[in-house]
């Protein structure tokens, strides 16, 4: 397969696995897509790995496959041929590979579905997954301050987590440290505050790196709805209309104001 074929395969994985993330990536410049599509395809494949089997050991092996691939990239040696790994290796450096390795390790939570020990453990999980992915993408695209990117990503990660609550509970997971409505509202409030604080420091993220943050265009609305009516989390009623979602993405893509 050619580099173009690999990129097309990654784009197809993202389009099928996360249509909204596909739209956000298409809103970025073509050169940025060469980074974002392989990274998002990686994230989707890793997130899917624990759920394709009921056997924890098989899930561990699937996650270890990705960790081995990242080790190959990070070491600078020969990297296995794969439609996602190959285009990822074209730009991912050792530091980025280490960050993604932590994201894969965090996905072991999906295998065992045990409750988080406390709020700190939950926050660490969000940072390792969403925070790590956003930071790897941003630093590959341009200059950016890590803390600002990770703060924004925390808001996005919590928003996405709240959207996924019904599905996670249906799979037998315990996704929240405290599921009471007032606790859910407080979680949304804190995540929204972190997201808005990051936006107030938008100047610390270059426009090029900011393309990585377009994937979080829906987070503010989701968090505000969860804050105002936390019962909508359990009912799966947090998403905006299709028109509102697409209009919001277009506005942010045109202005660069993630």
This prediction has a pTM of 0.94
Q: How far apart are CA 176 and CA 14, in angstroms?
A: 27
Bridge partners of 123, per DSSP, are: none
User: Which tens digits make up the pLDDT trace of 153-179?
Assistant: 999 999 999 999 999 999 989 999 999
CA dihedral 130, 241, 176, 100 (to 10 degrees): -10
**What is the model's pLDDT at position 161?**
98
Name every residue whose Cβ is closer than 8 Å to that of residue 144 and which is 6 or more positions away in sequence: 135, 138, 204, 205, 206, 209, 210
**What is the model's pLDDT at position 243?**
86
**What is the model's pLDDT at position 1?**
63
**What is the model's pLDDT at position 113?**
84
Tokens describing residue 109: 């939570």
**What is the model's pLDDT at position 72?**
97
CA angle 53/121/49 to nearest 5° reads 20
**What is the model's pLDDT at position 240?**
87
Local confidence pLDDT in tens for the 258 residues of the chain: 677 899 999 999 999 999 999 999 999 999 999 999 999 999 999 999 988 888 889 999 999 999 999 999 999 989 999 999 999 999 999 999 999 999 999 999 999 888 999 999 999 999 999 999 999 999 999 999 999 999 999 999 999 999 999 999 999 899 999 999 999 999 999 999 999 999 999 999 999 999 999 999 999 999 999 999 999 999 999 998 888 888 999 999 888 889
First-last CA distance in the chain = 35
Report the phi/psi class of residue 239: left, alpha or beta, with left for phi > 0 and alpha for psi in -120 to 50.
beta
Residue with tokens 């993220």: 205
């Amino acid at each position: 397969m050619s580099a173009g074929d690999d990129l097309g395969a990654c784009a197809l994985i993202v389009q099928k696995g996360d249509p909204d993330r596909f739209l956000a990536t298409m809103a970025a410049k073509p050169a940025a897509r060469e980074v974002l599509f392989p990274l998002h395809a990686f994230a989707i494949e890793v997130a899917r790995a624990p759920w394709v089997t009921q056997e924890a050991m098989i899930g561990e092996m699937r996650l270890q496959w990705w960790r081995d691939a990242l080790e190959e990239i990070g070491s600078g040696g020969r990297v296995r041929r794969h439609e996602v790994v190959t285009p990822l290796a074209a730009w991912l450096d050792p530091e980025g590979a280490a960050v993604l390795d932590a994201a894969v390790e965090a996905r072991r939570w999906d295998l065992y579905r045990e409750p988080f020990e406390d709020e700190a453990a939950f926050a660490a999980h969000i940072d390792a997954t969403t925070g790590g992915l956003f930071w790897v993408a941003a630093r590959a695209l341009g200059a950016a301050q890590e803390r600002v990117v990770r703060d924004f990503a925390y808001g996005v990660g919590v928003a996405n987590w709240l959207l996924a609550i019904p599905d996670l509970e249906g799979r037998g997971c315990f996704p929240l440290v405290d599921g009471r409505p007032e606790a859910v509202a407080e979680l949304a409030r804190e995540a929204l505050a972190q997201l808005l604080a990051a936006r107030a420091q938008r100047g610390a993220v270059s426009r090029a790196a900011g393309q990585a943050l377009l994937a979080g265009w829906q987070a503010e609305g989701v968090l505000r709805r969860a804050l105002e009516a936390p019962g909508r989390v359990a009912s799966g009623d947090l998403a905006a209309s299709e028109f509102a979602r697409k209009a919001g993405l277009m506005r942010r893509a045109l202005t660069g104001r993630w």
